């Protein structure tokens, strides 16, 4: 029987591999993605989101975790405010089977739980879904 640690390691490898595939599919490179992720556009979350913290990630670099349980369908918070990213927009790592979805609500890019997320679990999103959603809302223009 597979231990939880071995299962978690397997899932992390799947997510990292899928992220690399995502980069190739979008005709980019890890260096370009790294440069984009490090843009100086970070803005504080509004009041009421003190449960969200930047933590070390098992996937890559840093991540977002909540000190409280998050229920399925619950709005986790804004990914962007105006043209600036919050910590949710900056540190939400990619996962093939993410625990959130991304929606444009009242003019704000918003992260919503797609399942119950226990306190301390990394909050993830599927970057393909985010791009497809933003293209469908004409928030982004496809390259090429």
**Given this model, what pLDDT does residue 38 score?**
74
φ/ψ region of 27 (left if φ > 0, alpha if ψ in -120 to 50, else beta) reads: left
Element (H, E) at 14: helix 4-25
Q: What is the pLDDT of residues 38-64, one digit of tens each?
A: 778 888 999 999 999 999 988 778 999
Rounded to two decimals, what is the model's pTM?
0.80
- In the predicted model, what is the mean pLDDT of the chain? 85
Say how far apart CA 59 and CA 38 lie, in whole Å.
17
Structure-block tokens of residue 68: 């409280």
Helix (H, G, I), strand (E, B) or coil at 56: strand
**C-alpha angle 133-136-60 in degrees, rounded to nearest 5:** 25
Percent of the chain with pLDDT over 70: 92
Which structure tokens are listed for 88?
A: 């949710």
For residues 42 and 85, the answer to whether their CB atoms sit within 8 Å is yes
* List of domains in the chain: 4-136 (2.170.270.10)
**Greater model confidence, 78 or 35:** 78
Query: In the predicted model, is pLDDT for residue 129 greater than 80?
Result: yes
Q: Is the per-residue pLDDT at 137 higher than 70?
A: no
| Closest among 117, 82, 80 to 97, alpha carbons compared | 117
Q: How many CB atoms lie within 10 A of CB 35?
A: 10
């Amino acid at each position: 029987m597979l231990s939880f640690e071995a299962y978690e390691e397997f899932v992390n490898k799947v997510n990292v591999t899928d992220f690399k595939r995502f980069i190739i599919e979008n005709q980019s490179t890890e260096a370009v993605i790294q440069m984009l992720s490090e843009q100086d556009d970070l803005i504080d979350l509004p009041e009421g989101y003190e449960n969200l913290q930047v933590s070390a990630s098992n996937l890559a670099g840093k991540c977002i975790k909540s000190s409280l349980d998050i229920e399925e369908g619950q709005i986790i918070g804004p990914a962007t405010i105006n043209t600036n990213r919050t910590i949710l927009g900056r540190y939400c790592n990619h996962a093939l089977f993410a625990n959130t979805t991304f929606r444009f609500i009242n003019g704000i890019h918003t992260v919503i739980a797609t399942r119950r997320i226990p306190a301390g679990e990394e909050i993830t999103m599927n970057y393909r879904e985010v791009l497809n959603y933003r293209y469908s809302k004409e928030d982004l223009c496809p390259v090429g």
